[in-house]
Amino acid sequence: MATVPLLDYDDMAPEARAVIDDIKAARGVDDVNNFWKALAHQPDNLRRIWEGLQEVMAPGALDTVTKEMLYLAVSVANNCEYCAHSHTASARAKGMTDEQYGELLAIVAMASQTNALANALRVPVDDGFLR
């Protein structure tokens, strides 16, 4: 249960419906995920998030599956349950293999461990890291 009702397409404001139409077309799907149905209460947020995602996740100096894996790693570190599920699914859909997922998990775990140690010990940053 979300903190707001998930909106049906027919109950959305026209500005929200236009964004949902755009998501469906861009992804070639008949329906959008729950995230968008919750966000559709605020057409401005909805549009801004969708436009931002398209810009950020378009292939560039990094390819699409690398971008999806980075998105997933951050979502996991930020402990977002919905995002862990949705971005594991989308990284797989973009080509992440089981082996790559396993290595990603090992990196998330290892980094969380050394992050905790460096934060606990308050290790001063080496001069060499500051150019």
Q: Which parts of 23-52 interact with its own copies (CB under 8 A)?
A: 33-35, 38-39, 41-42, 44-45, 48-49, 52
Residue pair 60/36 in contact by the 8 Å Cβ criterion: no
* CB burial readout 41-58, b (16+ within 10 A) else e: bebeebbeebeeeeeebe
Q: Give me the 61-100 binding string for its own copies, x by CB under 8 A, dash otherwise.
A: xx---xx-xxx-xxxxxxxxxxxxxxxxx-------xxxx
Nearer to its own copies, 25 or 130 (CB): 130
Residue with tokens 């801004």: 48
How many residues of this chain interact with its own copies, rule: CB under 8 A? 81
Nearer to its own copies, 21 or 117 (CB): 117
Task: At 20, list the tokens.
Answer: 């949902």
Which runs of consecutive H residues, i.e. helices, occur in 1-131?
Answer: 14-27, 34-39, 43-57, 64-77, 81-93, 98-121
Q: Cβ 22 to its own copies, closest distance in Å? A: 17
Q: Cβ 21 to its own copies, closest distance in Å? A: 19
- Specify the DSSP class assigned to residue 79: T
Q: Cβ 10 to its own copies, closest distance in Å? A: 19
Nearer to its own copies, 25 or 61 (CB): 61
Report if residue 124 touches its own copies, rule: CB under 8 A. yes
